[in-house]
Amino acid sequence: MDAANESSEGRPFILLGLTTSPGQRRPLFMLFLGLYVASILGNGLIVAAIRASPALHAPMYFLLAHLSFADLCFISVTVPKMLANLLAHNRSISLAGCLTQMYFFFALGVTDSCLLAAVAYDRYVAIRHPLHYATRMSRAVCTALVGTAWLVSHLHSLLHILLMARLSFYASHRVPHFFCDHQPLLRLSCSDTRHIQPLIFTEGAAVVVTPFLLILASYGAIAAVVLRLPSAFGRLRAASTCGSHLAVVGLFYGTVIAVYFQPTSRYEAEQGCVATVIYTVGTPLLNPVIYSLWNRDVQGALRDLFTGRRISVVDS
């Protein structure tokens, strides 16, 4: 028991990463470096284009700019450290660094979740109530939605970290993951986590399942309108757009639920790593493509951004 209670504050954690095989580290480094750069460029360009173009100051683009910014920050919480560890011999991280990474990971992940719900609600209002769209999705409403997303996410993350900071850990600090996630850390804890796990599960369900259900309800209502469109081409185009949105949403929430909504005793490190890569790297990469880069107005704003021409509302 003395070994189990060995001070966890002075002993760093060792992040084992995606692989322990030296021969796989460099190919994985090149792969994830490319994905990271693509995600940063995609999300960064969308934020820049929306800010630079007055034609993209509609409520939908205001929400998409915040979604892209959240994605840009979200992927930057874990991937740079993962890339460094793929090439470094010392893959340690202090307890303070671990909790800091975990705080921003959960805060930005929940922000992403809430903003996805806000974008879905925006599309619902635009299609179901087009005559009232300007009032129901005014700048004040959009600002309130975004502000609520950031506030709720940081409160959730703060509670999470306060609970995790109370734990003690076994002498072995080898974390079978590429970042400090709470599931593998709970497995390393020698503290009694029976009271923590139900609280994390319940509170996590509130900030993950609730936005997911709102998204499904919004797109369900949109589908009812789409099916009544007189044009077969219009139905096909709308169905294609909604389908791509739902595919990304399903990928994000499906992997999140698979990783976190299970008892710690059933958590498998290898499967958890693979699923975590999907929503930490895959969704920040896909979101700008699905939500923005297929949009003609965004494409036009990006062209104007590259050519140095400032687009006006009249031009659009």
- pLDDT value of position 300: 83
CB-based contact 238:226 (threshold 8 Å): yes
Does 6 map to a domain?
Answer: no
Does 179 map to a domain?
Answer: yes
CB-based contact 115:146 (threshold 8 Å): yes
How far apart are alpha carbons 260 and 134 in whole angstroms? 38
CB-based contact 35:201 (threshold 8 Å): no
Does 311 map to a domain?
Answer: no
How far apart are alpha carbons 106 and 160 in whole angstroms? 8
CATH for 210: 1.20.1070.10
Residue 14, H or E segment: strand 13-15
DSSP label at residue 178: S
Does 36 map to a domain?
Answer: yes
Does 222 map to a domain?
Answer: yes
CB-based contact 52:306 (threshold 8 Å): no
Does 313 map to a domain?
Answer: no
**CB atoms inside a 10 Å sphere around CB 76:** 17
* Token pair 């970290």: residue: 161
Q: What is the domain range of residue 54?
A: 20-305
How far apart are alpha carbons 196 and 50 in whole angstroms? 42
- pLDDT value of position 102: 93
Domains held by the chain: number:
1
Does 13 map to a domain?
Answer: no
Q: Which residues of 97-122 are buried (b: 16+ CB within 10 A; e: fewer)?
A: ebbebbbbbbbbbbbbbbbbbbbbbb
CA distances 51 to 48, 133, 165, Å, are 5, 22, 39
Does 14 map to a domain?
Answer: no
pTM of the model: 0.88
**How would you write the pLDDT of the chain (316 residues) with one tens digit per residue?**
444 444 445 578 889 888 888 888 999 999 999 999 999 999 999 999 888 888 888 899 999 999 999 999 999 999 999 999 999 888 889 889 999 999 999 999 999 999 999 999 998 998 888 889 989 999 999 999 999 999 999 999 999 899 888 888 876 688 888 999 888 888 888 877 777 777 777 877 888 899 999 999 999 888 888 778 777 777 777 777 778 888 889 999 999 988 888 777 777 777 788 889 999 999 999 988 888 777 788 888 888 878 866 544 444 4
Angle at CA of residue 25, ends 21 and 28, nearest 5°: 125
In this structure, which amino acid lies at residue 42?
Answer: G
